[in-house]
A and B are shown apart, each in its own frame.
Chain A
Amino acid sequence: MGVKCESPPVLKVQNLGKIYGPGCPNCVGLTGPEHGRNVCPKCLSIVAFYGISLELFEAEVLGIVGESGSGKSSLLKCLHLDEEPWCGSVYHKEVGNGERDLFACSAQQKRAIRNKLFGVVYQSPEVGLRMGLTAGANIAEPLLLTNKNKPNFRAVRSRILHLFHQVELPIGRVDDPIRSFSGGMQQRVQIAKALACNPSVLLLDEPTSGLDVSVQASVLDLIRRIQWDTGLPIVIVSHDLGVIRLLTQRTLVMRLGRVVEAGLTDQILSDPQHPYTQQLVASALT
């Protein structure tokens, strides 16, 4: 019964896990929500997340929600290949016909995948941008990295200006140092940098969490508009249920490194199943 999905997922994650520390055979069995901890009592390793499986389809926005320390940002870092997982695999449909584990690729291939296929926006601009450089130079970086052999500076420059326009930043400030930008504008520069190489997946890690509400709203509107115009699939990590409600169709709820609940966003918010999700939904102010 049921209808098969039209096209294969853009991103497929299977049983992904990450342990900080030596790790031991007890790590997985003795941590997680049912034990109320993510530190292994035997070897004191931290089980950042474990057993994560998900699929991301074209034009879809998937939310990952959970409290601080639930492992959601570590998971996103792993999806961006910034960190090696302890176990599990990640597949992208444009790499080896979607059958090649990205972590089995060479360091050089990984760098290329990261630059070409993924765009990422971090909560803190200090992580995603080089604060000593101008806004334009920050956006130029991925463009030059993917076109190392014969960089066409004129084309790069016009791409930067186009992106500046796309994220609604004043063109006149493109050569200003990034330090001189406000928090909301820095997030816009991060978004421009993430979009620079036309990625096929956008990873957003609490993109609006440090911003005041009116700036937060305008950045969310920008993300929504970009998603709308491009159909780009997005994974967004947030602790803010309002952001999740606004942007996503499906949601994973994480607690102590495990997914405790997954489903349609409206179902998660109106009929949460897991005790933690019920607590989370009941605690939201709006």
Chain B
Amino acid sequence: MEENKTVLWIADLEKKFHIHLLGDFALETIKNFSLHLNEGEFAILVGPNGIGKSTVLNCIFRTYLPTGGKIIYRSRDGSYIDLAKCDERTITRLRKTEMAYVTQFLHCQPRVPAELVVATPRLSQGIPMGQALREARQLMERLGLPPNLWRASPVSFSGGEKQRVNLARAFILQPRLLLMDEPTASLDQYSTGLVVELLAELKERGTTVLSVFHDFAPVKELVTKVIHLDSHFAQEFEPQEALGISGVEDIVSGRCL
């Protein structure tokens, strides 16, 4: 029998927003979205603004409550969990141990130094402060964040610096499933290179990645699957197919306008 490598299996995911305030209507975003990811895959979501790419990620992380479909996650211990329906305690446990989400913009607590923001996920796993801070500093160094920033609050950082704090905070978990929303959007070419290097290492160790990218050229060596979201339908491409023929930009604009 073949070894089961499934990490994420999404079937017919649907998300509607019921807006009660402004005239009580339902806003449809994604529907009939399906996806299967094996361990170590690096899948990227592409598509025009507002098509629901971040909504997919938010539903997987349960920041949004899905209104239909299943999000089956196979956890490290082999159990299957429907992220769309399981209780909140299970989600908080997974967020603590194996699921990380790099949101588009960094949300962090004010008045907390960057190194502690990055170390926090390890601390909540029970890792001692000294070791957690060591790991945090190591990661920040590899991401090119200068040491004089480590003890300052990220609230005052530049966009690219915030982005790297956000990434470091997710990488430090060595997650089994890593969700990212335009992780390199505000990074220069050099910093992007540093991020790609770390992503390659995570992938090597078995992390499964699902990420929104507008320009995925920097990570094209890592990508195993391209999912193109187009007015409620998802289409899968092999990376070469998506990149080789016309470039992503062309595919995106060609199909949705």
Interface, chain A (partner B; CB < 8 A): 1-3, 5, 57, 60, 217, 221, 224, 228, 246, 249-250, 263-264, 266-267, 270-271, 273-275, 278-279, 282
Contacts and interface: CB of A to CB of B under 8 A. Distances in A.
Interface string B90-116: 111100000000000000011100000
B93 A3 contact: yes
Contact of A267 (B63, B81, B93, B123): B63
A251 to B, nearest CB: 10
A275 B62 contact: no
B86 A278 contact: no
Contact of B89 (A57, A217, A270, A273): A57
Given A1-B81, A3-B77, A267 B89 contact: no
A236 to B, nearest CB: 15
Contacts of B109: 224, 246
B80 A1 contact: yes
A11 to B, nearest CB: 14
A224 B117 CA distance: 14
A264 B79 contact: no
A206 to B, nearest CB: 20
A117 to B, nearest CB: 22
Given A1-B80, A1-B86, A249-B92, A217 B62 contact: no
B120 to A, nearest CB: 9
A264 B19 contact: no
Given A57-B89, A250-B88, A264-B91, A2 B79 contact: yes
A249 B90 CA distance: 12
Shortest Cβ-Cβ A-B pairs, 3 listed:
A275-B20, A271-B64, A2-B86
B58 interface: yes
Interface residues of B, number: 28
Interface string B5-41: 0000000000001111100000000000000000000
Contacts, number: 62
B236 interface: no
Contact of A3 (B17, B75, B88): B75
A271 B17 CA distance: 8
A270 B64 contact: yes
Nearest to B91: A264
B89 A271 contact: no
7 contacts: A2-B82, A3-B77, A3-B90, A271-B58, A273-B18, A278-B19, A278-B20
Contacts of A1: 79-82, 86
Contact of B62 (A2, A57, A264): A264
A59 to B, nearest CB: 8
A8 to B, nearest CB: 12
A267 B62 contact: yes
A7 B123 CA distance: 19
A273 B65 contact: yes
A268 to B, nearest CB: 10
A221 B116 CA distance: 14
B20 to A, nearest CB: 4
B111 A221 contact: yes
Contacts of B17: 271
B111 A217 contact: yes
B63 A263 contact: no
Nearest to A265: B88
A246 B88 CA distance: 18
B18 A279 contact: no
A274 B21 CA distance: 10
Interface in B142-193: none
B3 interface: no
Contacts of A228: 123
